[in-house]
Amino acid sequence: MNNTTQKDRQKKKVTNIGIVGVGDVVYKSHLPTLLAMNDISVAWVTDRDHNRAEQVARSYRVKCLRLPEQLTALPYTDIALLAIPYGARAPYYEVLRHRGSALYVEKPISRSADEHRQLCSLFSPSRLAVGLQRRSWGPVVLLKKLVDESVFGRLVRVELKYGGSAIVTSGKPFVSDAKLAGGGVLFEHGIHGLDMVLYISGAGRAHSYQVKTIIEKGFDVHAEGQVTLTNVSNEFVMDFKISWLSEMAEGLTFIFDHAVVNMSVREPRILIKSHEGRVLMSLTSSDIIYPITGFQTLWEYWASFLTAVQSGTANHTSADTSLLTTELIEQIYTQGGRQ
């Protein structure tokens, strides 16, 4: 290593991150991604399950802290990653808002639009991110460009199918506690699909809800219906089905004036068809679509958040840009419960 490289590295600020919660999303995704990034240091991890925290810390050779009774005793870090159940987060917000740390909160961030606005008011926009990382996924980035540039004319309709069969009381330890989890299939799973629709389409308003939900053991397990969305160009209808009750061919379909575009939510593939169903083009190449893997996507999302924090300029990672997503879910719960 030459002296110039050493000096350059010394000049670069290392961003240190503290992680609260070491469940699967941290163990399998965040930690390997963050530890592979330049100029990032994972200062510590902690969890109410200290044995689990120690195991994860040993696996990745990072420092483990016992979760203190007084959260103010947590050491300061430039960024805090909060990856604990929705219903357990409030005390952390109160501590972190006063110490100047930026905050990355795993989705979902709030149950109501009012709660979302209140949380956003505690932090500057560039310093509060929500984990909707699929906004950085290659197919989403490309499809958003197609909409923004009106490549196929106006967007007329969007169809979303998202979900699959599941056992409501299994899996995550908080899934059997509706208050702790905050919600079911919409809140925990459907949020990704709904946010992709809103983000890609550039929707700024949602109205005219015709929706229904099915509740089981205190959790929503199925939601479907139609919502009218408005972007800068026009109004269009979103037809959605999000469910834990049955298997379905997951995906997003964007119907434009001059083409129909299908986007898989499992594979980096975009199909462009005529209105008659003839395939005009299949886009799968990593030269066109990037990032394609989950790790690449999370890397890009974290990199975007770091840019926002360091520059003071909010971007697509900022929590205030997902307010409509929260509002949409809130209204589906409210309107669906009246059916």
Report domain extents, the chain. 3-132, 134-291+318-336
- The whole-angstrom distance between residue 7's C-alpha and the CA centroid of its chain comes to 37
> In the chain, what's the furthest Cα-to-Cα distance?
69
Check if CATH label 3.40.50.850 holds for domain 3-132. no
Q: 205 phi and psi, to 5 degrees?
A: -155, 145
pLDDT digits (tens, 9 = 90+) for 272-326: 999 999 999 999 888 889 999 999 999 999 999 999 999 999 999 999 999 999 9
Name the CA dihedral angle for 67, 72, 73, 78, rounded to a multiple of 10 degrees: 90
pLDDT at residue 10, as a whole number: 43
pTM reported for the whole predicted model: 0.91
Measure the CA–CA gap between 125 and 13, rounded to whole angstroms.
21
Contact (Cβ atoms closer than 8 angstroms) between residue 59 and residue 52: no
The CATH architecture that domain 134-291+318-336 belongs to is 2-Layer Sandwich (3.30)
Other Cβ atoms within 10 Å of 125 Cβ, number: 17
Assign 177 a pLDDT band (cuts: 50, 70, 90).
Answer: low
Which amino acid type is present at position 86?
Y
pLDDT digits (tens, 9 = 90+) for 86-137: 989 999 998 999 999 999 999 999 999 999 999 999 999 999 999 999 999 9
